[in-house]
Structure 1
């Protein structure tokens, strides 16, 4: 049974935590099931072929077919059991890069036979053996050939998660097992049916090195029994391994790579260390239970299973807000057109429920009002506030709440170009008897002729990348409405980027088979993403404006931590930090993010071709914000350690229309 499962209110998704067991070869699959599945494990990682089998040893007969030594008849288990509760473990002796012709011959035939049999059984996944060396080009080439025709089954490459040491290279120059995985998947061209199962040991690499894997397609983690310590209560993991397991739980390490929407997120753990082969059920009960249990009927690994459940139960549960957004994790959302299109109701509702966002706005407006005029003048002076695009709610009501809290008299002009929200606000003002305080204007702010200058200009036009919803272009015209000493809220905003690894996002963008989808700025609730370096600032805009030129160029150098090891950059994550008023900020930038902010997902700028950055090499990115009378767009490229293509030249794939 699952360690735990959480469902959404609408049952549109669920999160399961599953635990399997790695077994030895056993032709008696029903017994294997009674021993493991019926004792609490969710699935078995089981060999499909007798490990002694070699094609070169089989007799060749022309008058009768050769019966291969598979696990036995497919009818020993039901189709549902094969599909849902068995993961195939391919023969570990396979070595397609061997210099020995016979071993290579046996390996090629056996690998093809086992995958064909697993596909016939409708298994959801098979685990490929760990490459015997970092140079595994023939192995990867062979797997790529199989993947080309493979339908409906994942191949999980088994990779050891071990500490790397620059001073302890092996004969092939291997420093880092990630290098083995990277070379393998590059030859396979990031195929979306190729994933990873991590083989975890006590010899863990650094936290930074481990974090890289959370952007990779990791489907399961194998934990060996010899990685556990024991006490009177049973097995337990070291603090470092506990943190690793908890991190895997948080990152739901299996996802559906075939769809941009994931209805089920699964965390798979596999316990390894039980030796079933050549032992009867009575042997297992008598000989394998003495470590922790004296009950001969209890499964010898049940204590380990219980320990994983214990770790999961100790985790802080997701909030209702986070649960409601699970279906949006790692889903690519294209950019809006704020000038050309009217924002729809669903997007407006998302911002309305963001309490943290409007708490910060309320604080900023309250402070600006209080400092604009003294308490002595408060009863005699009326401050004029212009709201640029009130949308459908919070920014206007927040402004009025701040006026009440500051005990200041205000006159508010709410300028809205969306006819639907204009009607909403017009009726709201009438129903609240606020005609003397609030005037709702149906107009584009750039052409509106204001009856009087404003003391404070309030806008709520920030995008995932700060300026990417054309806040500078909106406010260039609106600032003409400000008094010479007027206040703009926000007063400035800075965009930030950081390099990231995300096989999921890269594959989703390129799966559309269109250049434009690899040169578009997306908005994404980042989840299966690994940050490779701290974010760096890109563009800053100040209001009231200091220049009429909204074009920008930035050259950004990133310092990838040395203990990360080598990395593969799939794209750039974008954030912003906005100064609303003086020391009051609104931020999505990870190191200074506003707590509980939910309106904005980070931006994502994909790279058409992922960039490999070797250990110790620099990473330099250049970014442009380009403007023409009819549109604004971004261009970007990598200039170190290698030169990438220029992305989105002249706005060919993506631009924001004016």
Structure 2
């Protein structure tokens, strides 16, 4: 049985254009916007093709007022220091910024605010080691957040830290910055806040008139010296992770990511893909110039944009300092509108298709803009609208899962719950799985005949039982396999769901010609095919037992226990189980969105952090990769069917509480009857880049039938093997084992994952733990940390 899926596939009736094209919400930002954003300015921007504008919260007048306050305080301190008065050793208290006045801010409550993104002052320095500067900066931030919140601003951008290093000896400002953001979230209790952070490196801040940083009394040029050293690619991500961790993964805190001219390694691109991206910020330096002098993006940037815009909530796009909004100086003058249909020369690719080298990127960013297009045309916007119209179409899996990426679902309880028809219907939308089952049954039938095996039917037909028939798709495929191979079959459909039983009988009458024997029974209680000709031995055996009991982790919907219970009807010598085996696989992942969602649920649900969820993993990052986007996924364990008869005999003896059993199972209270289905594995993952483990992604592979020289018929949900084994199969989403608290680890660490499949003979559950190690010598490791033991015992699958 496939895992619980939403009705994701029903939303495919839209037009071709709507089907593939993500919406690009594009904004315009000027770091020194000269005019307040009025209704007229907004209309001109909309006519050009922009969706939103940024607006500073405070004015240059407020800025000068703060500078005057700081200068006066520093002068007072200096005067005290130079005097010889013994009573003047104590510094006066830090000044308090007076309340805003109308000239201090261009914002006022009104209808236009819904199309504005407020931008906090970039001249403050929350990271300053000078208490005066950090205090004044916090005051400015709090005043701006409070006033923007009062006006009704919904979205705000806060410039990122001025120094991203949390590990250097001379800077501890990142904790001050994080604390200030935590306070801001409290003040603006309904606002969405995005921290403006470069993808990597330190954004070169142009000299700002009135910047507070130089006022710091211990100000040095250490930042410039650091810029000459080798760039730590993951340093800005590390800073972001620290900030959001201090803010406890607040759902209103996100990233405004600055895209550089030269993109970093793919592993860092994947890391940012997993984060809550609110905005992607483009400056003129991000673009190349084509032969016509028009701004275009490199192929690498185009691919990154296409990938990021496929997020469940695509980020907005912000064009920063690309020129003023057209038509503000002369509204009558006509200017181009970004409609997505520019001339070919406007959007022709640049001569190079890759990102420039670091030296080229640095040189280009210093050059004055030289282009042939008219300044009145919003050239960068025209190009972005063109990219919007030319996004690559979605894959089959993207269409099926549209809207359900990273949506947490509790796994099915197949033995205790009777599924609804609509749930079966979603399973049946996957043609690949049923095609593969049909192939497996056909191969098994052909081999049965070729090898001249005796059948369990008096008529000589091969007896097939579909255990857990649902609405009957596997029954249909078994009949098709019989027609295709020419091998006679006797089919039994066994189903415990009384509602599905009604539908199976109807199918038998209308579709299957009455040739199927439909049985209403739990498969474990079924005694086998009824032989009317042998009253002394009324029940016969089954030659091929077919089931679709697999869950997202293979065994998590109790396939082993169900097949153990029905194995007694399988012909002991030649009987075949389809599937014949399945394996569980896992890998550690960064999944901040899932962690935040689960933490929110945990407020009202005490089992939220202990539930293994079925989820279409999307905005995640694989932490152990051989090459980017090729995760290292390792096998945890395997189940094989049918089991040796001796194993089932021992289990039955224990269940009876006889000599072999009696309360001695590995879990307290069990008699050990299901002990053979417990499992344990410990796997090691080498992680080159620092990161945070939010949980484990689980997958499975199954061998439906092993045809020897003819090959195996296999299913896989592993992202690295699904294309080779069962391409485009959509029946199963992965499983996610969450960690209650994220586990941070540095570069070049080893993660060790221990996971158990436990049982007390009444239910089955999982327990898991992750440990982080670092090598401190050729043969010695140090444990850096470990997660809590996760346990799904409270929500385990009942047997």
TM-score (norm 1): 0.87
Corresponding residue to 1:72 among 106, 121, 129: 106
The equivalent of 1:542 in structure 2 is 640
SS of residue in 2 equivalent to 1:328: coil
Q: Confirm or deny that 1:637 pairs with 2:769.
A: yes
How far the C-alpha of 1:303 sits from its partner, in A, is 2.1
Contact 1:21 1:41 in 2 (8 A): yes
Provide closer, same or farther for how the CA distance between residues 73 and 552 of structure 1 changes in structure 2, counting only shifts above 3 A. Answer: closer
The equivalent of 2:678 in structure 1 is 551
- Bigger CA radius of gyration: 2
Provide closer, same or farther for how the CA distance between residues 65 and 154 of structure 1 changes in structure 2, counting only shifts above 3 A. Answer: closer
The equivalent of 1:48 in structure 2 is 57
Q: Confirm or deny that 1:192 pairs with 2:256.
A: no
Corresponding residue to 1:57 among 68, 91, 97: 68
Q: Confirm or deny that 1:336 pairs with 2:336.
A: no
| Larger CA deviation: 224-233 vs 493-502 | 224-233
The equivalent of 2:753 in structure 1 is 621
The equivalent of 1:82 in structure 2 is 113
Matches of 1:138 and 1:539, distance apart in 2:
46
Please state which structure has a larger fraction of its residues in strand.
Answer: 1
Contact 1:86 1:123 in 2 (8 A): yes
Contact 1:230 1:236 in 2 (8 A): yes
Corresponding residue to 1:26 among 25, 34, 49: 34
The equivalent of 1:4 in structure 2 is none
How far the C-alpha of 1:519 sits from its partner, in A, is 0.7
Matches of 1:53 and 1:215, distance apart in 2:
40
Provide closer, same or farther for how the CA distance between residues 270 and 66 of structure 1 changes in structure 2, counting only shifts above 3 A. Answer: closer
Matches of 1:173 and 1:309, distance apart in 2:
34
Matches of 2:369 and 2:727, distance apart in 1:
48
How far the C-alpha of 1:455 sits from its partner, in A, is 1.3
Corresponding residue to 1:487 among 576, 587, 603: 576
Provide closer, same or farther for how the CA distance between residues 334 and 374 of structure 1 changes in structure 2, counting only shifts above 3 A. Answer: same
Matches of 1:123 and 1:631, distance apart in 2:
51
SS of residue in 1 equivalent to 2:743: strand
Corresponding residue to 1:610 among 742, 749, 772: 742
Corresponding residue to 1:457 among 545, 557, 563: 545
Provide closer, same or farther for how the CA distance between residues 213 and 603 of structure 1 changes in structure 2, counting only shifts above 3 A. Answer: same
Matches of 2:398 and 2:265, distance apart in 1:
29
SS of residue in 2 equivalent to 1:586: strand
The equivalent of 1:434 in structure 2 is 513
Show CA shifts across 1:347-381 (max 9, x none): 10101111111011111111111111139999983
How far the C-alpha of 1:605 sits from its partner, in A, is 0.9
The equivalent of 1:143 in structure 2 is 181
Contact 1:555 1:620 in 2 (8 A): yes
Corresponding residue to 2:705 among 562, 581, 592: 581
SS of residue in 1 equivalent to 2:524: coil
Corresponding residue to 1:114 among 138, 144, 156: 144
Matches of 2:735 and 2:12, distance apart in 1:
26
The equivalent of 2:47 in structure 1 is 38
Matches of 1:456 and 1:54, distance apart in 2:
85
Matches of 2:577 and 2:467, distance apart in 1:
11
SS of residue in 2 equivalent to 1:327: coil
Q: Confirm or deny that 1:249 pairs with 2:288.
A: no
- In structure 1, the gaps of 5 or more residues are 1-6, 256-265
Corresponding residue to 1:217 among 271, 276, 279: 276
The equivalent of 2:655 in structure 1 is none
How far the C-alpha of 1:117 sits from its partner, in A, is 2.1
Contact 1:27 1:70 in 2 (8 A): no
Corresponding residue to 1:156 among 181, 194, 198: 194
TM-score (norm 2): 0.73
Matches of 1:286 and 1:407, distance apart in 2:
75
Provide closer, same or farther for how the CA distance between residues 73 and 438 of structure 1 changes in structure 2, counting only shifts above 3 A. Answer: closer
SS of residue in 1 equivalent to 2:574: strand
Show CA shifts across 1:36-69 (max 9, x none): 333111112332223534536369999x975164
Q: Confirm or deny that 1:530 pairs with 2:621.
A: yes
The equivalent of 1:360 in structure 2 is 436
Mapping of residues 369-408 of structure 1, within 5 Å: 369-374=445-450, 381-408=460-487
Provide closer, same or farther for how the CA distance between residues 208 and 626 of structure 1 changes in structure 2, counting only shifts above 3 A. Answer: same
RMSD over aligned CA atoms reads 3.3
The equivalent of 1:592 in structure 2 is 721
Contact 1:169 1:175 in 2 (8 A): no
Matches of 1:479 and 1:232, distance apart in 2:
72
| Larger CA deviation: 331-340 vs 45-54 | 45-54
Matches of 2:189 and 2:181, distance apart in 1:
14
How far the C-alpha of 1:588 sits from its partner, in A, is 0.8
Contact 1:226 1:273 in 2 (8 A): no
SS of residue in 1 equivalent to 2:406: coil
How far the C-alpha of 1:113 sits from its partner, in A, is 1.3
The equivalent of 1:312 in structure 2 is 388
Show CA shifts across 1:252-291 (max 9, x none): 5xx3xxxxxxxxxx331111233559x97269x9999972
The equivalent of 1:3 in structure 2 is none
Matches of 1:239 and 1:378, distance apart in 2:
62
Contact 2:233 2:268 in 1 (8 A): no
The equivalent of 1:349 in structure 2 is 425
| Larger CA deviation: 334-343 vs 629-638 | 334-343
Matches of 1:602 and 1:432, distance apart in 2:
34
Show CA shifts across 1:305-349 (max 9, x none): 222233333333236774453232211111211111111222101
Matches of 2:512 and 2:179, distance apart in 1:
73
Contact 1:235 1:307 in 2 (8 A): yes
How far the C-alpha of 1:222 sits from its partner, in A, is 0.6
